[in-house]
Amino acid sequence: MKISRAHKNFAARLRHQTSLEYPERFLGPNWKDVLNFWLYLDTLSREELKIVHNRYCALGWAESLKNLTLNAAKVTIGYEYEDAAWLAPTSFASAYATLELIGSHNLEAFTFLPLFLNL
Instruction: Give the pLDDT of residue 112.
Output: 94
* Cβ atoms 94, 41 nearer than 8 A: yes
* Per-residue model confidence as pLDDT tens digits over 2-49: 999 999 999 999 887 788 999 999 999 999 999 999 999 999 999 999
Q: What is the pLDDT of residues 81-101, one digit of tens each?
A: 998 998 999 899 999 999 999
